[in-house]
Structure 1
Amino acid sequence: MSADNAQKTEQSADGNHEYLAKINTQPSTQTDLREVARVVFPADKDLDALPLYIDGPINREGPSSAGSDTANQHPDDIISRRSVRIRAGRRVSFGSYFNAFPASYWRRWTVADSVVLRVRTTGAGSLIVYRSNARGVSQRVEDRRVSGETTCEFELTLAPFGDGGWYWFDLISDEEGMVLDEASWLVPSQGRPVGRVTLGVTTFNRPDYCVNTIKTIANADGLDEVLDELIIVDQGNKLVQDEPDFAEAQKAMGGKLRMIRQGNMGGSGGFARNMYEVVEGRQGPDGVEKSDYVLILDDDILLESEGVLRAAAFADMCHTPSIVGGHMFDMYNKPLLNAYAEVVNSYRFLWGPIDGLGAVDFAERGLRSRPRLHRRWDADYNGWWMCLIPRVILEEIGLSLPVFIKWDDSEYSLRAKAAGYPTISLPGVAVWHVSWADKDDAVDWQAYFHERNRLIAALLHSPFSKGGRMLRESMTTETKHVVSMQYYPARSVLLAIQDVLDGPDRLHEMLPNRMPQIRGMKDKYSDGRVVKDLSQLPPVRRAKPPKRMEAPKSPTKAQLIPWALRTVLKQTLRPVREMAREYPEATVAHMDGHWSYLATLDSAIVSNADGTGASWYRRDPAQVRELMAESTKLHAELLSRWDELSEQYRAALPEITSPQAWARTFAENGPAQ
Structure 2
Amino acid sequence: MEQAPAGDTTTDGSNVDALEDALIEPVRRDRLIVQRGLFGSLSPRVPEKMYVVTKGDAAADRHGLQLAEAATAHTNTYFGRFAATYWQRWTDVKSVNLQLTYASSGSATFTVSASDARGRERIVTTSKVSGSGDLDLELPIERFVDGGAMWFSVESGNGSLLVSDARWTVAAPEHLRPAAVVICTFNRADDCTVTVGTLASDDDAMSDIDAVCIVDQGTDQVRSRPAFAEVEEKLGKKLIYLTQPNLGGAGGFSRGMYEITGSPNSAHANVIVMDDDILCEPESVLRLNAFANMTVQPTIVGAQMLSLSNPQILHVGAEREVLDEITAGELTPGAKMGIDLVKKKQEPRFDAGWNGWWTCLLPSEIIAECGLPIPLFFQWDDIEYGIRARFAGHPTVTLPNAGVWHADFHLKDYDDWARYFSIRNGLVVSALYGRFDGNDISKYLFRKISELIVSMQYGLAATFIKAAEDFLAGPDFLYDGGQSALRELRELRDRYPETKPLPASEVGKESDPHTQMKVWDFEPDKKREGLVLLKRAVQQFRGKVDGRQVTVPAHFANWWHVSLFENAVVTDASQNAVRVRRRDKDTAVELAKHAAKVCWRLRKEAPQMKKVWHDAMPKLTSRENWARLYGIDE
Q: 516, 529, 533: which one pairs with 1:560?
A: 529
Give CA-to-partner distance per residue, 1:297-316, whole Å, 9 cap, x none: 00111111011111111111
3-state SS, counterpart of residue 559 of structure 1: helix
The separation in 1 between residues aligned to 2:611 and 2:266, in whole angstroms, is 37
Q: In the alignment, what sits opposite 1:496?
A: 467
Q: Give the conservation status (yes or no) of the 8 Å contact 1:128–1:144.
A: yes
The separation in 2 between residues aligned to 1:176 and 1:366, in whole angstroms, is 32
Q: In the alignment, what sits opposite 1:61?
A: none
The separation in 2 between residues aligned to 1:183 and 1:112, in whole angstroms, is 20
Q: Give the conservation status (yes or no) of the 8 Å contact 2:536–2:560.
A: no
Q: Which amino acid aligns with 1:561?
A: G
The separation in 2 between residues aligned to 1:45 and 1:523, in whole angstroms, is 40
Q: Give the conservation status (yes or no) of the 8 Å contact 2:96–2:170.
A: yes
Q: Which amino acid aligns with 2:420?
A: Y
Q: 1:545 to 1:216 in 2, by over 3 A?
A: closer
Shift of residue 200, structure 1, vs aligned partner: 0.5
Give CA-to-partner distance per residue, 1:374-418, whole Å, 9 cap, x none: 111000000000001011111111111111221111111100011
Give matches, 1:230-241, under 5 Å. Answer: 230-241=212-223
Which range moved further: 476-485 or 155-164? 155-164
Q: 508, 511, 535: which one pairs with 2:506?
A: 535
Give matches, 1:204-243, under 5 Å. Answer: 204-243=186-225
Q: 1:73 to 1:264 in 2, by over 3 A?
A: farther
Q: 130, 144, 147: which one pairs with 2:130?
A: 147
Q: In the alignment, what sits opposite 1:508?
A: 479
Q: In the alignment, what sits opposite 1:339?
A: 316
Give CA-to-partner distance per residue, 1:103-136, whole Å, 9 cap, x none: 1101111121221111321113110111111221
Give CA-to-partner distance per residue, 1:511-554, whole Å, 9 cap, x none: 12212321233331111111136336751249x957x7342512
Give CA-to-partner distance per residue, 1:470-492, whole Å, 9 cap, x none: 44332222111111111111101
The separation in 2 between residues aligned to 1:661 and 1:44, in whole angstroms, is 41
Q: Give the conservation status (yes or no) of the 8 Å contact 2:533–2:560.
A: no
The separation in 1 between residues aligned to 2:521 and 2:586, in whole angstroms, is 25
Q: 1:133 to 1:529 in 2, by over 3 A?
A: same
For normalisation by structure 1, the TM-score amounts to: 0.85
Q: Which amino acid aligns with 1:592?
A: F
Q: Which amino acid aligns with 2:493?
A: K
Which range moved further: 311-320 or 155-164? 155-164
Q: Give the conservation status (yes or no) of the 8 Å contact 2:267–2:365.
A: no
Q: In the alignment, what sits opposite 1:293?
A: 270
Kindly indicate whether residue 352 of structure 2 is the aligned counterpart of residue 379 of structure 1: yes
Shift of residue 443, structure 1, vs aligned partner: 1.0
Structure 2: gaps of 5 or more residues: 1-28
Give matches, 1:58-457, under 5 Å. Answer: 69=54, 77-79=59-61, 81-123=62-104, 124-191=107-174, 193-280=175-262, 282-283=263-264, 288-289=265-266, 292-352=269-329, 353-354=331-332, 357-363=336-342, 365-367=343-345, 373-440=346-413, 442-457=414-429
3-state SS, counterpart of residue 294 of structure 1: strand
The separation in 1 between residues aligned to 2:362 and 2:196, in whole angstroms, is 20
Give CA-to-partner distance per residue, 1:121-155, whole Å, 9 cap, x none: 11131101111112211001111111111322222
3-state SS, counterpart of residue 509 of structure 1: coil
Shift of residue 168, structure 1, vs aligned partner: 0.9
Q: Give the conservation status (yes or no) of the 8 Å contact 1:576–1:620.
A: no
Percent sequence identity is: 31
Q: In the alignment, what sits opposite 2:21?
A: none
The separation in 1 between residues aligned to 2:511 and 2:57, in whole angstroms, is 51
Q: In the alignment, what sits opposite 1:615?
A: 579
The separation in 1 between residues aligned to 2:48 and 2:560, in whole angstroms, is 41
Q: Give the conservation status (yes or no) of the 8 Å contact 1:341–1:379.
A: yes
Give CA-to-partner distance per residue, 1:572-616, whole Å, 9 cap, x none: 233777xx5xxx611122222121110101111112111222121
Shift of residue 317, structure 1, vs aligned partner: 0.9
The separation in 1 between residues aligned to 2:428 and 2:84, in whole angstroms, is 37
Kindly indicate whether residue 595 of structure 2 is the aligned counterpart of residue 595 of structure 1: no
The separation in 2 between residues aligned to 1:291 and 1:489, in whole angstroms, is 45
Q: Give the conservation status (yes or no) of the 8 Å contact 2:81–2:150.
A: yes
The separation in 2 between residues aligned to 1:358 and 1:473, in whole angstroms, is 25
Which range moved further: 263-272 or 519-528? 519-528
Structure whose CA Rg is larger: 1
Q: Which amino acid aligns with 2:398?
A: S
For normalisation by structure 2, the TM-score amounts to: 0.90
Q: 1:291 to 1:603 in 2, by over 3 A?
A: farther
Shift of residue 341, structure 1, vs aligned partner: 0.9
Q: In the alignment, what sits opposite 2:491?
A: 520
Shift of residue 214, structure 1, vs aligned partner: 2.0
Q: Give the conservation status (yes or no) of the 8 Å contact 2:41–2:48.
A: no
Q: 1:552 to 1:636 in 2, by over 3 A?
A: farther
Q: Which amino acid aligns with 1:150?
A: G
Q: In the alignment, what sits opposite 2:3?
A: none
Q: In the alignment, what sits opposite 1:572?
A: 541
Q: 1:224 to 1:190 in 2, by over 3 A?
A: closer
Q: 48, 51, 71: which one pairs with 2:49?
A: 51
Q: Which amino acid aligns with 2:259?
A: E
The separation in 2 between residues aligned to 1:95 and 1:204, in whole angstroms, is 38
Q: 1:87 to 1:550 in 2, by over 3 A?
A: farther
Shift of residue 51, structure 1, vs aligned partner: 2.0
Shift of residue 468, structure 1, vs aligned partner: 8.5
Q: Give the conservation status (yes or no) of the 8 Å contact 1:534–1:614.
A: no
Shift of residue 570, structure 1, vs aligned partner: 2.1
Give matches, 1:578-657, under 5 Å. Answer: 580=547, 585-657=549-621
Aligned-pair RMSD on alpha carbons? 2.3
The separation in 2 between residues aligned to 1:45 and 1:473, in whole angstroms, is 44
3-state SS, counterpart of residue 586 of structure 1: strand
The separation in 1 between residues aligned to 2:393 and 2:417, in whole angstroms, is 35
The separation in 2 between residues aligned to 1:109 and 1:73, in whole angstroms, is 40
The separation in 2 between residues aligned to 1:35 and 1:469, in whole angstroms, is 50
Q: 1:599 to 1:668 in 2, by over 3 A?
A: farther
The separation in 2 between residues aligned to 1:496 and 1:120, in whole angstroms, is 59
Q: 1:561 to 1:366 in 2, by over 3 A?
A: closer
Which range moved further: 503-512 or 643-652? 503-512
Q: Give the conservation status (yes or no) of the 8 Å contact 2:441–2:603.
A: no
The separation in 2 between residues aligned to 1:541 and 1:339, in whole angstroms, is 39
Q: Give the conservation status (yes or no) of the 8 Å contact 1:349–1:469.
A: no
The separation in 1 between residues aligned to 2:290 and 2:218, in whole angstroms, is 33
Give CA-to-partner distance per residue, 1:417-445, whole Å, 9 cap, x none: 111111110122221111112112x3111
Q: Give the conservation status (yes or no) of the 8 Å contact 1:210–1:240.
A: yes
The separation in 2 between residues aligned to 1:49 and 1:274, in whole angstroms, is 34
Q: In the alignment, what sits opposite 1:22?
A: none
Q: 1:668 to 1:392 in 2, by over 3 A?
A: closer
Q: Give the conservation status (yes or no) of the 8 Å contact 1:84–1:179.
A: yes
Which range moved further: 350-359 or 381-390? 350-359
Structure 1: gaps of 5 or more residues: 1-30, 56-68, 368-372
Q: Give the conservation status (yes or no) of the 8 Å contact 1:104–1:162.
A: yes
Q: In the alignment, what sits opposite 2:17?
A: none
